[in-house]
Chains A and B, each alone.
Chain A
Amino acid sequence: GESVGLHLPTLSVQEGDNSIINCAYSNSASDYFIWYKQESGKGPQFIIDIRSNMDKRQGQRVTVLLNKTVKHLSLQIAATQPGDSAVYFCAEPPMEYGNKLVFGAGTILRVKS
């Protein structure tokens, strides 16, 4: 079936460095993607989203890049801080209303001080 997956299960970065978290998807018809951050004991928190008519979208310290040719998206976090330590999921909302949100496997980001 269709799926969204991640390349790296764990990423350790030094505080102040930039982080890049990758995600691959398999449904070429997908038109919308979301990145979530999940801290320990909490629910997934929306970070940023991107539509398929865009290649890049920037937020506060975060940038999402979408490469439709290879069905790949990435989340870049600038000047990574200890508070960025969490699990990051890419997710693919359904094309039909009321259908399920498909999550990727997740990447654990650890920020070393």
Chain B
Amino acid sequence: DTEVTQTPKHLVMGMTNKKSLKCEQHMGHRAMYWYKQKAKKPPELMFVYSYEKLSINESVPSRFSPECPNSSLLNLHLHALQPEDSALYLCASSQDGRGWTFGSGTRLTVV
């Protein structure tokens, strides 16, 4: 299995909702990432988990809460989001700084 799987593919949520994005990989990669991408812009890093521990938080607002339950799973919990948080959320994984693999993303719309 050489894929990073993200669910759901599309999500529409209200500003008072709580939702979660999920990411899964079975390549044995020990680093996993959340990126946010706005239209016609490069992906921007949000969080890095290394060996299931949060190693980088790029000053992301607390309404985004990451979680890494085990070495194969990465979640992003969403609460009280704003319309400007609408974007494509990408999950990625890597091993030894190589083999970077991205999922297809979750297209999030906040209404």
Contact = CB atoms under 8 A, between A and B. Distances in A.
Interface stretch (B65-73, B76-84, B103-111): B103-111
Q: How large is the interface on B (under 10, 10 to 19, 20 to 34, 35 or more residues)?
A: 20 to 34
Chain A CB within 10 Å — which of B55, B98, B100, B107 has the most? Answer: B100
Contacts, number: 66
Interface string A5-33: 00000000000000000000000000010
B90 A93 contact: no
A108 B4 CA distance: 24
B1 interface: no
- Majority-rule SS of B interface residues: strand
Given A95-B97, A100-B45, 8 more contacts: A32-B98, A36-B102, A93-B98, A93-B100, A98-B56, A99-B97, A101-B92, A105-B42
Interface of A: 32, 34, 36, 41-46, 87, 89, 91, 93-101, 103-106, 108
